[in-house]
Structure 1
Amino acid sequence: MAAVTGSNVVALKSAAKFGDCSDRKFVQIRQWSPISGVIESVQTRPCIGLKCRSRRSFASSGVRAQVATVEQASIEAAQKVEAPVAIVTGASRGIGKAVALTLGKAGCKVLVNYARSSKEAEEVSKEIESYGGQAVTFGGDVSKEADVEAMIKTAVDAWGTVDILINNAGITRDTLLMRMKKSQWQEVIDLNLTGVFLCTQAAAKIMMKKKKGKIINIASVVGLVGNVGQANYSAAKAGVIGLTKTVAKEYASRNINVNAVAPGFIASDMTAKLGEDIEKKILETIPLGRYGQPEEVASLVEFLALNPASNYITGQVLTIDGGMVM
C-alpha cells in the first residue's frame, strides 16, 4: 500500500493497544469488587455492597462498549486499507469486462476504462457496485498520454493509489500484409503496444514509491507464433511480451510483479459471427476442442493480481489457449 497506508496501520496498532489497556482496567475492577464485598460484609452494610456491584456493572458495560467501538473502527479501517485499487483498460466488454467484474467481486476498487462504449462501461461499474464493490468509469484513449495521465489521476483522487494495472485495451485491423495500409498498421501499434507503454509508465511511478504493485498485460498467442492476416496485431502483441519481460527486470527490485497473459481463441461477439465451417477448422487446432471463456482468462488474471502464491512470479507469459500453442 501507499505511504498513507502505513500511517493507518500505525493508527490501528495504537487503537489495539488502547483496547488492551481497557481490558486490563476491566480485569482490575472485577478483582477489586470482591475485596469491597468483604469489607462491606464486615461492616454489615449490604446496601453499599449493592452499590459497588452496580458500579461494577456500569463500568463493565462502559468498557465493553468502548472496546466494541474501537474494534469496529479498527475493522473498518483495515478493510479500507486492504482493498486494492485496480485499473482495467478496455473494460466495457469481453475479457476486460470479465476481469473488472472478477476483481470487483474479489474486493478491489476498480476503475473501468473505456474508449467509446460508455453505456456498457457504466453497466460494468453498476454491477460491481450492486454486490457492494466500488467502481468508477473513465473514458479515454490509452494511446494518448494526456488521457492516460488523467485516468491515473482519477484513480488516485478517488482512492489514493494504484495497486494493480491490467493492460487489456486493444483493437484489430486484420488484412494481409500486401493489402495493409500504414494507417491500419499504426492504429493497432499505437493502441495495443504504445498504450501499454504509457499506462505502465504512469502507474509504475506510483507503485515504485510504495515498492509494491502488480501489472498484468493481456497479450495473445499470436504474439508468440504469428497469424496470417494479422501482421500488425501479431507485431503489437509480440512487443507487449518483450515489454513485459523488460519492465519485470527493471522493477523487480521495487517489488513490482509484471506478467503477461496470452489468450488463444476466446468466445466473443466476433467468434459468434464466424461461419460453421470456419469455426470447425479453428476448433480442430485446439486440443481441448472448444473456445475459452472470458471468465477463465479473468480468473487467471485474478490469480496473478491478488493471490499470494503469485508473488514469486514475474516476467512470465502464461498462455491460456486450450493447448493450441505447445
Structure 2
Amino acid sequence: MTFPKPLAGQKALVTGANSGIGKGVAIALGVAGADVVINYETDKDAATEVVDTIRAGGANAIALQADVSSPSEVDAMFARAIEEFGTLDILVANAGLQQDAPFTEMTLEKWSKVLDVNLTGQFLCAQAATREFLRRGVVPSVSRAAGKIICMSSVHQVIPWAGHANYATSKGGIKLLMESMAQELAPKGIRVNAIAPGAVRTPINTSAWSTAEALKSLLTLIPYGRIGEPEDIARAAVWLASDESDYVIGTTLFVDGGMTLYPGFATGG
C-alpha cells in the first residue's frame, strides 16, 4: 500500500532534532516526504542516527551543528542548509532546555541561558527562515504557503511553574513572539503557529516518569490518563507543516492529554 506524502518536495529544518520531541518531529517530517536538516548542539552521533533513519525511509537528511542562541552560528547553519537543499519550506523551532532553581536562588546565568536558547534561539531561527521564504516566495507546486514556521512551546506558556521561572517565562514569550510573527507575516504568505506539548516522555524530564511513583503522580495532572510520546507531537507538526492546515494562522495547538484543563478542579477544586 502506498501512503500519501503531504510534504513531498519540501525542505525542513528542525532545531534540537537529535533527541526527544525534535527527533520525533524530524523523523515524521521525513516519513511525510520532506528532506530534513537535523540541527544539534552536542552529540553528533545521535544526530547522525536520526539522519540515517530518515534516509532509510527514502527522504534526504543532513546534520548541522549550531548553537541556536548564536547569531553567527544560526546564519551559517541556514546558509549551509540552503546550499545543500536549494531552499527551505519548513522550520520547526524546537531546541530548548531547562536550568531549574527556586526563584530566590536562580542565578542570572541560569536565567539568561534558558531565555537565550528557548526564546532568542527561536527568534533568530525564525528570522533566518523568513528571509529565505520571502526571497523564494510561493511555489504552488510545492505548497500554498511561502513557508511554515512551527514554534515549540509548552503548556507552561499558560500554566505557572514554581521553581522554573526562567523556563515558563521563555515559553510565555514564545506565545507572543509566535502570534506577533503570525500577524506580520501572514500577508506575505508565511504561516506561523505553535505546538504546546504537555508531559512527554523525553530525556529532558526523565525524573517525572522513570519510576512508578513519579509516573502515578504525573498522571494525576493528565485527564487522558497517559503520558505523551514524541510521536504525538510529531503528528501535529506534520499537519501544521502541510497544506491540510493552510488556513491555520497564529494558533497554539495544545497536545497535552488535557493538562491545561486544570484537572484539580474536576471534583470542584
Determine if the TM-score, normalized by the shorter chain, exceeds 0.5. Answer: yes
1:283 maps to 219
Of Structure 1 and Structure 2, the greater helix share is in 1
CA offsets, 1:65-102, max 9 Å, x none? xxxxxxxxxxxxxx9x9510100000000000000100
Q: 1:271 to 1:195 in 2, by over 3 A?
A: closer
What amino acid is the match of 1:317?
T
Q: 1:202 to 1:270 in 2, by over 3 A?
A: closer
CA distance, structure 1, for counterparts of residue 47 and residue 163 of structure 2: 30
Alignment of 1:221-236 (within 5 A): 221-236=155-170
Following TM superposition, the consecutive aligned residue runs of length 4 or more in structure 1 with deviations greater than 4 angstroms are none
Q: Between 240-249 and 223-232, report the one with greater CA deviation.
A: 223-232
- Match among 4, 14, 21 for residue 95 of structure 1: 21
1:122 maps to 48
What amino acid is the match of 1:84?
Q
CA distance, structure 2, for counterparts of residue 272 and residue 232 of structure 1: 19
- Match among 202, 224, 249 for residue 314 of structure 1: 249
TM-aligned CA deviation for residue 310 of structure 1:
0.4
Q: Between the two proteins, what is the percent identity of the paired residues? A: 39
Alignment of 1:114-263 (within 5 A): 114-209=40-135, 210-211=137-138, 212-263=146-197
TM-aligned CA deviation for residue 282 of structure 1:
1.5
TM-aligned CA deviation for residue 245 of structure 1:
0.1
Alpha carbons 2:15, 2:93 under 8 Å: kept: yes
The size of the alignment, in residue pairs, is 246
Q: Which runs of 5+ in 1 are unaligned?
A: 1-78
Alpha carbons 2:148, 2:191 under 8 Å: kept: yes
CA distance, structure 1, for counterparts of residue 58 and residue 195 of structure 2: 28
CA distance, structure 2, for counterparts of residue 268 and residue 283 of structure 1: 16
CA distance, structure 2, for counterparts of residue 278 and residue 319 of structure 1: 23
1:299 maps to 235
Q: Between 268-277 and 195-204, report the one with greater CA deviation.
A: 268-277
1:34 maps to none
SS at structure 2 position matched to 1:225: coil
Alignment of 1:1-40 (within 5 A): none
Q: TM-score, normalised by structure 1?
A: 0.73
TM-aligned CA deviation for residue 278 of structure 1:
3.0
SS at structure 2 position matched to 1:325: helix
TM-aligned CA deviation for residue 277 of structure 1:
3.0
CA distance, structure 2, for counterparts of residue 206 and residue 271 of structure 1: 34
TM-aligned CA deviation for residue 309 of structure 1:
2.3
Alpha carbons 2:97, 2:204 under 8 Å: kept: no
Q: 1:100 to 1:278 in 2, by over 3 A?
A: same
CA offsets, 1:21-73, max 9 Å, x none? xxxxxxxxxxxxxxxxxxxxxxxxxxxxxxxxxxxxxxxxxxxxxxxxxxxxx
Higher relative contact order (CA 8 A, sep 6+): 2
What amino acid is the match of 1:207?
F
TM-aligned CA deviation for residue 159 of structure 1:
1.4
CA distance, structure 1, for counterparts of residue 241 and residue 254 of structure 2: 16
TM-aligned CA deviation for residue 129 of structure 1:
0.8
CA distance, structure 2, for counterparts of residue 95 and residue 229 of structure 1: 23
Aligned-residue RMSD, C-alpha: 1.5
What amino acid is the match of 2:194?
A
